[in-house]
């Protein structure tokens, strides 16, 4: 009897555990909810531009805020805009870029709404972020429409977004966090779009001049102090080399345009007009000018290149053709969509951490 009692004890214990295991395995275990989508919108961030003569001076006041610029210089720039009816094409072009991105995201995913916010004119960043917040959007992928990093082309925009976010929070409006895409100045979509534009412009030259035409890449000049604190110049060179390689071009140069500020302050050089004069003395006969540092044909491109640089070329007898900016080239629109998807995929396991309410994150 004692032996049966000893033997039955362990058996009973095993049977109890089996019963418990079956009970556990048959119970419905609720699945953990999937993490929320990391982003619910895309914000394209651009410079902005006036849309009529009455907008020009208020627009310039926004551009120049905090800077001591002589009134005569402001009036000179206002006259540049007057040549184009006081309208900058940048707003229309940015909206076309947004429409192309929206189409690609709707077709191939992720189906995120696309918004446009401008630094210097309507739709202002603060108005766009307020609209997004009222629509219930809280986490946006940010795409600054400038390929090369400097304070004025990148960091300043991030600060503008941070300031706009602070403003809507003080109004009691929910915050919209912004996470920026990584660098794309060497992305195949940007290089390919630029190369296509240069090739088209080159074909517009007289046939006898095509092979000997120099490709001259231009970008907005910045103060040397700003250039040394960023990879702006290096990134421009990286883009230019890749485009020239794509085209099989060995004769090319990187120059600058649209210099402003005090004459005594050193800025990136050479200026395109000074460069053309110097090179004509060396026998330069034809150029294809590519506005590498701009993604839209706005007034700085139209005036500084199509008006000033073209006039210098005419004076010197240099044949010039200008390549269009990437604008809404399909390759460029594909790039924007690719960078948005890459950012969404990076945070697919969960939303990016917010260290503080104003933190703007970058994927790099």
Answer yes or no: is 192 within a domain.
yes
* 118-139 residue pLDDT tens: 999 999 999 999 999 999 999 9
Residue 37 banded pLDDT, cuts 50, 70, 90: confident
The answer to whether position 269 is within a domain reads: yes
**What CA–CA distance (Å, rounded) separates 334 from 328?**
10
- Report the domain count for the chain: 2
Contact residues for 44 (Cβ-Cβ < 8 A; gap 6+): 94, 97, 98, 101, 114, 115, 116, 117, 143, 145, 336
Helix H or strand E segment including 337: helix 330-346
- pLDDT of 2 > 50? The answer is no
* Residue range(s) defining the domain that contains residue 74: 41-184+330-362
What's residue 5's pLDDT?
Answer: 39
Average pLDDT rounded to a whole number, residues 17-46: 68
Strand partners, 25: none
Do 177 and 62 lie in one domain? The reply is: yes
What's the rounded mean pLDDT across residues 35-43?
A: 88
Binned at pLDDT 50, 70 and 90, residue 32 comes out as: low
Segment 307-333 mean pLDDT: 98
Could you read off the pLDDT of 154-170 as tens digits, one per residue?
Answer: 999 999 999 999 999 99
182: its two tokens: 């990584």
Same domain as 192, residue 155: no
Do 179 and 46 have their domain in common? yes
Question: What percent of the chain has pLDDT above 90?
Answer: 80
Question: Do residue 115 and residue 167 come from a single domain?
Answer: yes
What's residue 263's pLDDT? Answer: 72
In terms of domains, do 70 and 168 share one?
Answer: yes
Residues 155 and 207 in one domain: no
Which residues 6+ apart lie within 8 Å of 305 measured at CB?
A: 218, 257, 272, 289, 291, 322
**How far apart are alpha carbons 362 and 364 in whole angstroms?**
5
55-93 pLDDT, tens digit per residue, is 999 999 999 887 778 888 889 999 999 999 999 999 999
Mean pLDDT computed over 278-282 = 97
| Contact criterion met (CB below 8 Å) for 239 and 195 | no
Read off the CATH number of the domain in which 288 is found: 3.40.50.1400
| Other beta carbons less than 10 A from residue 292's beta carbon | 28
């Amino acid at each position: 009897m004692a032996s049966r009692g000893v033997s039955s004890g362990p058996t009973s214990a095993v049977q109890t555990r089996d019963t418990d295991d079956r009970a556990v395995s048959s119970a419905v275990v609720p699945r953990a909810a999937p993490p929320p989508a990391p982003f619910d919108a895309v914000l394209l961030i651009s410079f902005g531009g006036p849309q009529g003569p009455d907008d020009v001076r208020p627009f310039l006041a926004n551009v120049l805020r905090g800077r001591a610029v002589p009134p005569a210089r402001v009036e000179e720039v206002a006259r540049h805009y007057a040549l184009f009816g006081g309208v900058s094409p940048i707003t229309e072009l940015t909206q076309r870029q947004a429409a192309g991105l929206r189409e690609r995201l709707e077709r191939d995913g992720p189906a995120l709404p696309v918004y446009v916010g401008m630094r210097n004119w309507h739709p202002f960043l603060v108005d766009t972020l307020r609209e997004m917040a009222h629509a219930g959007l809280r986490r946006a992928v940010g795409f600054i429409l400038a390929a090369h990093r400097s304070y004025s082309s990148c960091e300043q925009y991030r600060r503008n977004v941070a300031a706009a976010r602070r403003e809507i929070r003080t109004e009691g409006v929910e915050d919209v966090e912004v996470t920026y895409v990584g660098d794309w100045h060497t992305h195949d979509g940007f290089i390919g779009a630029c190369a296509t534009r240069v090739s088209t412009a080159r074909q517009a030259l007289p046939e006898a001049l095509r092979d000997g035409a120099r490709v001259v890449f231009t970008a907005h000049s910045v103060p040397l102090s700003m250039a040394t604190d960023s990879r702006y110049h290096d990134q421009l060179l990286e883009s230019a080399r890749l485009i020239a390689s794509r085209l099989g071009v060995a004769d090319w140069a990187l120059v600058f345009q649209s210099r402003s500020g005090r004459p005594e302050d050193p800025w990136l050089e050479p200026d395109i007009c000074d460069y053309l004069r110097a090179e004509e003395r060396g026998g330069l006969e034809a150029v294809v000018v590519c506005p590498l540092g701009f993604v839209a044909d706005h007034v700085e491109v139209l005036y500084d290149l199509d008006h000033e640089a073209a006039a210098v070329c005419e004076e010197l007898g240099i044949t010039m053709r200008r390549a269009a900016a990437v604008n809404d080239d399909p390759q460029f629109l594909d790039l924007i969509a690719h960078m948005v998807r890459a950012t969404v995929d990076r945070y697919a396991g969960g939303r990016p951490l917010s260290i503080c309410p104003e933190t703007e994150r970058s994927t790099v």
